[in-house]
Amino acid sequence: MPGTTLDLARELIARRSVTPEDGGCLEIVSQRLAPLGFRLERLDRGGVSNLWARRGGSGPVLCFAGHTDVVPSGPLEQWRSDPFRPEVRDGHLFGRGAADMKGSIAAFVTATERFLAAHPDHAGAIALLLTSDEEGRAVDGTVRVVETLAARGEALDYCIVGEPTSAARLADTIKNGRRGSLSGRLLVKGVQGHIAYPHLVKNPVHKVAPALAELAATVWDAGNEYFPPTSWQVSNFHAGTGADNVVPGSAEILFNFRFSTASTPDALQARVHDILDRHGVEYALEWTLSGQPYLTPRGRLVEAVSQAIRDSVGLDTELSTSGGTSDGRFIAAICPEVIELGPLNATIHKIDECVAVADLDALSRIYERALGLLLR
């Protein structure tokens, strides 16, 4: 074998790949996959690096998906070691991307290498979908690869996204779905003027406040077996000139829905407009749908990965749809069964991000066992 999961993770972390930069990570992965018989395609777009790699012809197709880009390191002086010079201390590998998610990518590769060494004539096909545009705008990465695959009728049967899903112990949690994300930019119109002459002004803050109170108190849905109730939250509220004697002429409110499969974007938008209209708010509202919810119920993939976890680390995992969005929302368009499984998420995006060295090996074994259960 070319090296351990730890070796490959260190090599990837050493590449400074702050989103949307790849830093050469995909080339490292490609060099490992090419000798295994993978057909490699670079589907780069808009300054984003994308790799689609596939080995095998007919299905079932099992895809490992992930991202090579990382968030900025933050203040370097607060790190115990350089975030792009991986270091092992106290049984943990430290560096930006160790948990999110270069460790998972390394585990994808080493699991695949071992599986193919033992089963060169396996059934189905193995694929990897990797991008450098997950932590940023996420508009030229996985979504564009999925569009390309859909255009040529290339579907997937199973997908494992390497997002860091574990809470207290490795593999204690599988994400079998994610909530959708719907954002709004609400511009409330008023009439600016001197605060001492209220009859000559129209205060947009006063006008929108009752509507915001109703929006905050609204029960949008009750959720379901897999999802919590839909949540509506204001993220920003801007109004005023900075002076304390001027009524603002407008107010801007940014808000977001994290919604379950119990609601649809169209229905949520219609209810918001109805509330604003009933309160007589004069407004303009722009909507951005950044992701539909997706859900993979118990089935072949969930059962196989759950079994792989039991066989590899002796743990009964739990299913969850909590947390933010992931690229799984795009992949679900061409793949009926998508789950996420990766390292502990306690240090992701933090100073001194790290992953246990033992967890890297164990995660690779879980992925390898899943390959065996699904493609043999």
Give yes or no: 7 in active site. Answer: no
Please state, in angstroms and as integers, the Cα–Cα distance from residue 81 to each residue in 99, 112, 352, 355, 356, following that order.
16, 31, 8, 14, 16
> What is the separation of C-alpha 88 from the centre of its chain, rounded to a whole number of angstroms?
27
Please identify which of the residues 11, 21, 133, 134 carries the catalytic annotation: 134
CA–CA distance, 112 with 109 (Å, rounded to integer):
5
Asked if residue 83 has a cis previous peptide bond (ω within 30° of 0), the answer is no
Q: Are 261 and 227 in contact (CB under 8 A)?
A: yes
Please identify which of the residues 22, 69, 113, 135 carries the catalytic annotation: 69
Cβ-proximal residues to 114 (8 Å cutoff; 6+ apart), any chain: 1, 364, 368
Helix (H, G, I), strand (E, B) or coil at 99: helix
Q: Residue 14 half-sphere exposure, CB side, CA atoms within 13 Å?
A: 11
Give yes or no: 69 in active site. Answer: yes
CA–CA distance, 88 with 13 (Å, rounded to integer):
12
Q: Residue 133 half-sphere exposure, CB side, CA atoms within 13 Å?
A: 19
Q: Which residues are catalytic?
A: 69, 134
